[in-house]
Amino acid sequence: MRLRFAPSPTGYIHIGNVRTAVYNYIIAKKYNAELILRIEDTDKERSTKEYETMLIEDLKWLGLAWAEGPDTGGSCGPYRQSERFKIYKDFTERLLQNGNAYHCYCTPEELEAHRKEAAAANKPIVYSGRCRNLPAVEKMKFEAMGRKPSVRFKLPEDVSIEIDDKIKGRVVFDSENIGGDFIIVRSDGVPVYNYIVVIDDAMMKITNIIRGEDHLSNTPKQILVAKALGFTPPVYAHHGLVLGPDRSKLSKRHGITSLRRYREQGYLADALLNYLSMLGWASESGEEIFSIDEIAKQIDIEKLSNSPAVFDFQKLKWMNGQYLRKYPLDKITDLFIPYIKEAGYDPNKIEKQQLEVIISILQKKCDLLSEIKSFIGIFLAEVLEPDEETDMLLKEEDSKKIITEAYEFIKTNTADKDSLIGALVSFAKGRTGLKGKKLFMPIRGILTGRLKGPELDDVVPVIGLDKSRKRIEYMFNRYI
């Protein structure tokens, strides 16, 4: 079995396409099959080398691996379509010679006029076949006018194309409904996707194609081209697409859509891999946290999602938190460090043991690595500017009473760093009569500048007496 993933490097890779890659990876793993990465970069305006580099980097970061590809090489290369034009050209010659394709001299204006006519008459747009049997003199006339022909595939008449799709089941297309003879090489010499994908899949000996159902309507064209070239078409499996919560195609309006941004936000590769492979598929036991090997054992091509799957951003975040909390301390510390730096702190200046204590507290609190940025200052800053909601709370009369008492407390207290918070709470409670949230939230606000975050019982022993005093003093001066 040989599978392939064939992205176009026209931007950061979309999470929906990543899911297709993950499906191919898992199925390849399951059957010990070869996975090929092919870069579909014929759209010169939109494809860039940088995007290709990032795509490969991001997929590797996710944990995917392939047996053959532009970076690894292999016996069926090159693996970039832009480097395979000679191969396509030879096949085009063959199709022209055996009468399965022909030169078309219609201009874009003529085709556009034809399209408009069809639209006005409410008819499907079907190429008229005008150039199918163009007499030699006419051809010469067009050539003399300087027209560059495109190459069209001659659609066989009255045939039905049957696909035995592993996910969709039996799907039948009628050659009459494909839109007429279609272009396989544009007039600028660039061959089109529906044509070259067939050549590449055959030359790369691909046996199974797993891709999104948005490509189902391309499949009859691809099968007809394969047959005209004497190839046996591969086995197809078209899975359902990923939708946003409003059930429209997942887009930036809904949230993050590129793998790169998930990575930057501090999602973990194994959590993402787990989530994406379970998107649209449920295990029999109902369990959700699985390693890729376990998923490969349970899943199969037929079980890949047929219907659209709604992307649940909250669930992914939750799952990430589950993974994050399970990581060993040294590993999670390494992963947090870039984010600590982003928050403006130098982890090298923090004593190792203290850093470990801080990380083990925050590991419980963060669902994403980047969330450490809003918590780390609680431990490392001298004093903290209150955020907006804390500022609102500390301006309230009851809060001011607590600030005043906290200030009184530090003037007289003899508690050590471990008993400080307990002593402060009972002092403030005794003097103000406040309790519950009214008591605890202002104290949290005074000491951390935030209303949310790690437990004060965890925080105060780490920041110690001096810092706690300074912070109380700072808030006293600010609010009283």
Active-site residues: which are they? 252
Name the segment binding ligand GLU (CB under 6 A); options: 5-13, 248-256, 302-310, 396-404. 5-13
- CB 214 → ligand GLU: shortest distance, Å? 7
Tracing tokens 């804390």 back to the chain, one arrives at 390
Count the Cβ atoms, other than its own, within 10 Å of residue 464: 13
Nearer to ligand GLU, 8 or 363 (CB): 8
Bond preceding residue 9 cis, omega within 30 of 0 = no
Nearer to ligand GLU, 8 or 100 (CB): 8
Alpha-carbon span 63 to 320, nearest angstrom = 15
Alpha-carbon span 388 to 394, nearest angstrom = 10
Q: Are 238 and 33 in contact (CB under 8 A)?
A: no
When asked if residue 386 is in the footprint of ligand GLU (CB under 6 A), the reply is no
Alpha-carbon span 340 to 57, nearest angstrom = 23
- CB 208 → ligand GLU: shortest distance, Å? 11
Tracing tokens 């199918």 back to the chain, one arrives at 132
Angle at 232 between CA 226 and CA 237, to 5 degrees: 90
List binders of ligand GLU among 172-201 (CB under 6 A).
197
Residues belonging to the chain: 480
Alpha-carbon span 118 to 366, nearest angstrom = 58
Tracing tokens 């150039």 back to the chain, one arrives at 131
Name the segment binding ligand GLU (CB under 6 A); options: 2-10, 225-233, 243-251, 444-452. 2-10
Half-sphere exposure of 205 (CA within 13 A, CB side): 10
Nearer to ligand GLU, 215 or 417 (CB): 215
Nearer to ligand GLU, 239 or 373 (CB): 239
When asked if residue 215 is in the footprint of ligand GLU (CB under 6 A), the reply is yes
- CB 351 → ligand GLU: shortest distance, Å? 49
Nearer to ligand GLU, 6 or 340 (CB): 6
When asked if residue 220 is in the footprint of ligand GLU (CB under 6 A), the reply is no
Nearest Cα residue to 271 out of 308, 311, 326, 309: 326
Distance of CA 44 to the CA centre of its chain: 23
Phi-psi region of 289 (alpha: psi -120 to 50; beta: other; left: phi over 0): beta
When asked if residue 211 is in the footprint of ligand GLU (CB under 6 A), the reply is yes
When asked if residue 22 is in the footprint of ligand GLU (CB under 6 A), the reply is no
When asked if residue 36 is in the footprint of ligand GLU (CB under 6 A), the reply is no
Of residues 2, 3, 8, 36, which one binds ligand GLU by CB under 6 A? 8
Query: Which positions from 115 to 144 touch ligand GLU by CB under 6 A, shown as an x/- string?
Result: ------------------------------
List binders of ligand GLU among 40-69 (CB under 6 A).
40
- CB 197 → ligand GLU: shortest distance, Å? 5
- CB 212 → ligand GLU: shortest distance, Å? 7
Nearer to ligand GLU, 6 or 380 (CB): 6
- Amino acid, res. 173: F
- CB 211 → ligand GLU: shortest distance, Å? 4
Alpha-carbon span 222 to 211, nearest angstrom = 14
- CB 38 → ligand GLU: shortest distance, Å? 8
Alpha-carbon span 185 to 337, nearest angstrom = 51
Total residues at the site for ligand GLU (CB under 6 A)? 7
Q: What is the rounded radius of gyration, in angstroms, for the C-alpha atoms of the chain? A: 31
When asked if residue 6 is in the footprint of ligand GLU (CB under 6 A), the reply is yes
Where do contacts with ligand GLU occur on this chain (CB under 6 A)?
A: 6-8, 40, 197, 211, 215
